[in-house]
Structure 1
Amino acid sequence: MPGGRVDHPFFARVYARAAPALDRRGLAERRAALLAGLAGDVVEIGAGEGRNFPHYPPEVTRVVAVEPEPRLRRLARERAASAPVRVEVVDALAGRLPVDDASLDAAVACLVLCSVADQEAALNEAYRVLRPGGQLRYLEHVRAPSAGLRGVQRLLDATVWPRLAGGCHTGRDTLSAVERTGFAVPEPVRFLFPSVPRVRTPFSFHVLGTAHRPPAAP
């Protein structure tokens, strides 16, 4: 069932061209760290053009890769054909995942929770489809720690940036949103990307980590 209309032709073209350079600058290593140790059945929320697919370990038995943007979805399906694990690319929204309750071992959110229309709905869906004890793996850019840069982020997010960048918001407090959903959220790895000495921009601040749906009560 189609997930709804998401149409970002400008962003899709720009992202597809920029992504290889970003991976060479260190994002590929972060993608690999994001997915290391995964096993079983996985949903990837907002798979884009499928740049995570080569990094899935062989212990993963199936990936349901959700991507509503048609150009990125087409590229993802091409990339899925050479993935090391079984990947099914589907047209759906993060807020309406085509997956049964408590049926998956892990959900992956990679540079997508900044751009979903309803972050709370997307996280609630991730929680719903995970088995008790299941993992939410996330790699996201987040709110800046300084008041000055947070002000710039708010300005960008209220004006031009979401229109240019496929709905992306630079300053979402994603970790707090994950915790409010009910996930257990250990302290993530925090890093700057791109890593440029003494340079901080509204886009620099990233987190990489694993949250868990709590196990079922005994």
Structure 2
Amino acid sequence: MSRRKTVSHPLCARLYVKQSQAAETRGLADQRRRMLAGLAGEVVEIGAGNGLNFARYPQAVTLVHAFEPDPYLRERAARAADAAAVPVKLGDAAAEDLPLEDASVDSAVTSLVLCSVSEPRRAIAELHRVLRPGGELRFNEHVVSKRPVGRALQRTADATIWPTLSGGCHLARDTRTALEDGGFGIELVERFVFRVSALDPPKTHILGVARRL
């Protein structure tokens, strides 16, 4: 039986589209380029948003299985898919329940999405399931601060109003540990501070490569 989730954040989705355009000029475009460089074969991308990754996939990618559950973002992702240089098959699915066969894709991509999925460990388990043994996971995610004061503030925000204001985003998730606990070996990681816009709090990001063990 399907565990299909309904996901819709109309106001946050519209704000995200506006912020993402500004973020590209602030350095996010280069982060996307580095994250996707060298990919080949079939790829799954969860939480594809408005499809800004699509134009940056290398020609060696034969198909992108992209999933975006929010209808507003998915409609914009469809436009980006039509203009992409590689084939993109766009679907309506949550990260926790991917409509793909076991071990069916070569690589996976998560880009600013594991902060906002409702069950991150289940989403990671799904990525592990659909990836072929040894397959790569490329990621760019913001994560919990290493500073005690910053971490405490993030946890307070997560327990109060931040997820409501930001479409389910959580500031204090330890995504690297969650990936390792979920059966991925981190092979390369870059840690840096980035903010999407002047209104966005600066957040620690990790960008890198993990492999399905």
The residue that corresponds to 2:117 in the other structure is: 116
Q: State whether residues 38 and 60 of structure 1, in contact with CA within 8 Å, keep that contact through their aligned partners in structure 2.
A: yes
The residue that corresponds to 1:213 in the other structure is: 212
Shift of 1:112: 0.3
Establish whether residue 175 from structure 1 lines up as the match of residue 210 from structure 2.
Answer: no
The residue that corresponds to 2:151 in the other structure is: 150
**One-letter code aligned to 2:23:** L
Q: In the TM superposition, what whole-angstrom CA distance separates every residue of 1:126-158 from its partner, at most 9, and x where no partner exists?
A: 000000110111100001010000011001111
Q: Is there any run of 5+ residues in structure 2 with no aligned partner, and where?
A: none
What fraction of aligned residue pairs are identical, expressed as a percent? 50
In the alignment, the residues of structure 2 paired with residue 2 and residue 164 of structure 1 have an alpha-carbon distance, to the nearest angstrom, of: 26
The residue that corresponds to 2:17 in the other structure is: 16
In the alignment, the residues of structure 1 paired with residue 128 and residue 209 of structure 2 have an alpha-carbon distance, to the nearest angstrom, of: 13
The residue that corresponds to 2:52 in the other structure is: 51
The residue that corresponds to 2:68 in the other structure is: 67
The residue that corresponds to 1:102 in the other structure is: 103
- Please report the TM-score for the alignment, with normalisation by the length of structure 1: 0.93
**Matched length:** 209
Residues 75-90 of structure 1 aligned to structure 2 (within 5 Å): 75-90=76-91
In the alignment, the residues of structure 2 paired with residue 115 and residue 4 of structure 1 have an alpha-carbon distance, to the nearest angstrom, of: 14
Greater Cα shift, 182-191 or 20-29: 182-191
In the alignment, the residues of structure 1 paired with residue 34 and residue 166 of structure 2 have an alpha-carbon distance, to the nearest angstrom, of: 25
Shift of 1:89: 0.9
The residue that corresponds to 2:128 in the other structure is: 127
Residues 16-35 of structure 1 aligned to structure 2 (within 5 Å): 16-35=17-36
**One-letter code aligned to 2:170:** H
Q: In the TM superposition, what whole-angstrom CA distance separates every residue of 1:19-63 from its partner, at most 9, and x where no partner exists?
A: 110010000000110100000000001000001111100000000
Larger strand fraction of residues: 2
The residue that corresponds to 1:198 in the other structure is: none
Q: State whether residues 2 and 92 of structure 1, in contact with CA within 8 Å, keep that contact through their aligned partners in structure 2.
A: no
**Aligned CA distance change for structure 1 residues 34 and 76 (closer, same or farther; 3 Å):** same
In the alignment, the residues of structure 2 paired with residue 168 and residue 207 of structure 1 have an alpha-carbon distance, to the nearest angstrom, of: 16
In the alignment, the residues of structure 2 paired with residue 130 and residue 71 of structure 1 have an alpha-carbon distance, to the nearest angstrom, of: 28
In the alignment, the residues of structure 2 paired with residue 115 and residue 203 of structure 1 have an alpha-carbon distance, to the nearest angstrom, of: 17
In the alignment, the residues of structure 2 paired with residue 67 and residue 179 of structure 1 have an alpha-carbon distance, to the nearest angstrom, of: 24
Q: Secondary structure at the match of 1:178?
A: helix
- Please report the TM-score for the alignment, with normalisation by the length of structure 2: 0.95
Shift of 1:204: 1.9
CA RMSD in angstroms comes to: 1.5
**One-letter code aligned to 1:207:** I
In the alignment, the residues of structure 1 paired with residue 5 and residue 146 of structure 2 have an alpha-carbon distance, to the nearest angstrom, of: 35
Shift of 1:186: 2.5
**Aligned CA distance change for structure 1 residues 202 and 25 (closer, same or farther; 3 Å):** closer
Runs of 4+ in 1 over 4 A off after TM superposition: none
Shift of 1:2: 9.4
Q: State whether residues 3 and 68 of structure 1, in contact with CA within 8 Å, keep that contact through their aligned partners in structure 2.
A: no
